[in-house]
Chains A and B, each alone.
Chain A
Amino acid sequence: MTALLEVTDLCVDYSGLRAVDGLSISLAHGTIMGLIGPNGAGKTTTIDALCGFVPQVRGSILLDGHPIDSLPPHMRARAGLVRTFQSIELFVDLSVEENLLVATSTSRWWSPFVDAVAPRRHVHRDDVNLALDTVGLRSLATARPSDLSHGQRRLVGVARALASRPKLVLLDEPAAGLDPAETASLGQMLRNLPELGIAVLLVDHDMSLVLDVCDRLTVVDFGQVIASGVPMDVREDPSVISAYLGGGS
């Protein structure tokens, strides 16, 4: 059986600086993988590259066996590879529910003509409600992002990623700014995703969350993988301890 996501030798440059340097990961169906590393290690850049937001210098990305390197970001999202942002990035002009609805909407070139005469209904309301239930924010469906707490906004970001029923979500620090109770329920929710057919690549600094929910861990530093394996082993790895865990956190 092929892996869901197969990344080989991925390299990304920022004007001279190599932010991701020959990174390879393989993520199986129905698993949660943690991607951890110190600040500036290249985790966000990896997500950016996987989703097509920054050009890759080298390497290949296969999703479910199909190469997606040459697809623009929105096509990768439609292929089932969806992300959240470290800086959340909700649509501030839309309500919580609309933030999710727009992520499930489809469009053809003639759709604006149809909408101008007889507006189409939002067909994926069920998915949206399910995603809101998953993060426990159904009651805030009509609220505006500006009315929400920081933690709630982060969860809306996660719900928006889940609403389109992706194959794989890449979560960029979903627990940053969440209080312990919110983090605990986030962990609970993440563990349930594989049953819904959604695999997860989780980037976070909250080690207890990461160790708690992840099946496998990949540790990066300076854009390179320095260790990977099951959490138990990775924790003991000396290079990891020196690069990251031992770094005073």
Chain B
Amino acid sequence: MAHYLQLSLTGLGAGAVVAVLAIGLVLTFRASNVVNLAHAAMGTYIAYVYYGLRNFNVASTQKGGNLVLPVFGVPGVVHLIDRPTVVTALAIALVVAALVGALVYLLVFRALRNAPPLARLVASLGLFLYLQAVMELRAHDIGAGAATLPLTSLLPNGVVRLGSVVVPTASFVLAGLAVTVAVVLGAVFRYTRFGLSTRAAAESEKGAILIGVSPDRVGLLNWIIASVLAGGAMIFVAGITSQLNPTQSSLLVVPALAAALLARLDSFAMATFAGLAIGVTQSGVATFQSQAAWLPSWLPNDGLRQALPVLLILVAITIRGAHLPTRASLVDSRLPVAPVPRRPWLWIPLLSGAAVVALYTLDAQWRLAIVVSVIAALIALSCVVVTGYVGQISLALYAFAGLAAFATAKLELAGVGFPWAPLVAVILTVVVGILFGLPAVRVRGMTLAVATIAAAVAIEQLVFNSPALNGLSGVPNPQLFGSNLGFLAPGAANFRPAFGVVAVVVLAASMLAVANLRRSPTGLRWLAVRSNERAAAAAGINVGSTKLSAFAASSLFAGLGGALLAYELPALSPQQFLVVGALAVLALTYLGGIATLSGALIAGFLASGGVLTRIQGGAAADTTTQYALSGILLILVAAFYPDGLSMAVRRAITRLHSVWLRGVRSRGAT
């Protein structure tokens, strides 16, 4: 028992970091209604700044003092001062944090103040992808990769003894800091004019202006505080855990989001409590898993620790939700227009035919690119159905694809033959998809988005990381009626076109099905629920089951994409299905047009390693640059073309068409 107590108290340190991140999320949400997915990524960048500055060795000639720049395309670092002390480096880092917070607000979120919630989410996604990519690139500039950065703890190394329980002092210090921050902010928000202004601005921008508050100044200040807090938290956590990694550190936002949601994105005290509780539970669960011998051996080492607290919060939020939004909650759920596809029976077969011709006439690299794009389009299509048509933001789709891929591979390797292995895998995926769609019956909007990230993290931590699934390879080629439909051919980098045809046919059939659904009674119900859940219920529509039908359809398409991946990839590994991939799927689909069929195709075209990459002539090596660019593009599209590229093109065509018609008419008249 004492052992558990000791480990739980040790978890206070990690919990404090989650708590401070959660407080920052509450701040930015209160100030500008943004659930900032890039919050921890901003903090991670600040940690890079700090440890980059401190990257020197007294004995060597290395001078350190290099400031890492977050801007793509300029020199990676500038030299500031030689051998800065801890205090100097910390001061510089926190000033940079304040600047980053201010810039992010002024350049991105101020402009999106009145944008639809999905656009705001996507913009924060763009920021996330951008920061991550820049950090990947800069890791080299500040000292031969992050692994060798001197990640020393800023906190005392001693321990506190409580009877037989020994706890690092640092844990208590961090927890104390977190509680102090919460108390101070709570007091500031309750008693000062700034706090009142923030609340006024959050309630109504017009009202705030009327009582003489500038929403801009209030927003700016909140973003600066949030960014400084995130920077401080990430500097501390990197020092304690000796880990700083663009992806893993940025994903600390997931437990922080869970804590912030439990606090209804409103209460600092509750966010802090929930954050600390997550840390303590995680440590306790880790001990439990390391000691309980009866747990199945396929369970990943770190799985329960990572997944359990987040899942518990997911359940809590779901239970707290309601079947329908209340009259008072003015939900703003404007989504991009969802046009009925024009003449799908014409252009889908035509495009498919062109793709098949390309598969048989172009070289193996092109074949690979086409197949990658087709599979990506299929996964994007699942996003179009659930997010575009029904308005349920799901970030678990990529995890569903991964589930289908692993299941297909596992079944194939167990000797289940071709049509049956993917069939069973896809059915399994649909069942899981419906299961993880259940929260959508009771929660909506951003809460649902976060719930689905939590689900994706749980699948990743509990399933993909399992030793039983590590490095699945040697999936046999699919055979049907004696013909070989496989992709991988003997010999290096050679690919068979027959598999490409299978993929194209699956995508074409799926797109035709979605086109049918869109104009059918089912499609009308989906759009009705997307528009207005209360009115839909009043019109006799079962809102819950309508949402679940969309989750089922969407996981079906994601599952088909995943099953194809099992045959396309020479080996499967958990790294291929990280949560970041899911963010990229939503990002690309949004870019293309999240509520249109052609949007899914554009997403496939843009996917890394797909046709666009091939046209650029590049191997997929430069994905990092591509991520950085697509991050920026995403923010721009969210701000200026919230309907996505395909609608921009469609409108341009319509405009050209009418100009042309006018030209024809005026010529006819003269």
Contact = CB atoms under 8 A, between A and B. Distances in A.
A93 B535 CA distance: 13
Interface string B530-542: 1110111111111
A164 B524 CA distance: 15
Given A73-B324, A83-B538, A89-B532, A98 B524 contact: yes
A120 B524 contact: no
A54 B322 CA distance: 11
Specify which of B326, B513, B523, B539 lies most central, judged by the most chain A CB atoms within 10 Å of its CB.
B539
A164 B323 CA distance: 23
B525 A119 contact: no
Contact of B516 (A89, A115, A164): A115
Contacts of B667: none
B324 A118 contact: no
A74 B516 contact: no
Interface residues of B, number: 38
A132 B217 CA distance: 50
A-B CB proximity, top 6 nearest: A115-B520, A119-B520, A77-B540, A103-B539, A116-B513, A105-B521
A90 B535 contact: yes
Contact of B338 (A53, A85, A93, A109): A93
B116 to A, nearest CB: 12
A120 B520 contact: yes
Contacts of A48: 327
A112 B553 contact: yes
Contacts of B525: 102, 105, 107
Interface of A: 44, 48, 51, 53-54, 72-74, 77-78, 82-83, 85, 89-94, 98, 101-103, 105-107, 109, 111-112, 115-120, 122, 160-161, 164
A111 B540 contact: no
Contact of A164 (B520, B528, B539, B553): B539
B276 interface: no
Contact of B527 (A51, A91, A103, A122): A91
A92 B326 CA distance: 19
A94 B527 contact: yes
B337 interface: yes
A22 to B, nearest CB: 22
24 contacts: A54-B327, A73-B537, A74-B539, A77-B539, A77-B540, A85-B535, A89-B534, A90-B531, A93-B335, A93-B530, A94-B531, A101-B524, A102-B521, A102-B524, A102-B536, A103-B539, A107-B521, A107-B522, A109-B549, A111-B522, A112-B522, A112-B552, A116-B520, A117-B513
A112 B542 CA distance: 14
B527 A53 contact: no
Nearest to A164: B540
A93 B522 contact: no
Interface in B530-565: 530-532, 534-543, 545-546, 549, 552-553
A186 B669 CA distance: 46
Contacts of B534: 53, 85, 89
Contacts of A93: 335, 337-338, 527-528, 530-531
A94 B338 CA distance: 9
Nearest to B532: A89
A102 B522 contact: no
A115 B535 contact: no
B540 A91 contact: no
Contacts of A94: 524, 527-528, 531
Contacts of B516: 115-119
B526 to A, nearest CB: 9
B442 to A, nearest CB: 13
Contacts of A120: 520-521
Given A77-B537, A116-B513, A164-B539, A109 B545 contact: yes
Contact of B521 (A44, A90, A118, A122): A122
Nearest to B328: A14
Contacts of B193: none
B137 interface: no
B594 to A, nearest CB: 13
B538 A85 contact: yes
B519 interface: yes
A77 B546 CA distance: 16
Nearest to B389: A93
Contacts of A53: 324, 327, 534, 537-538
B336 to A, nearest CB: 10
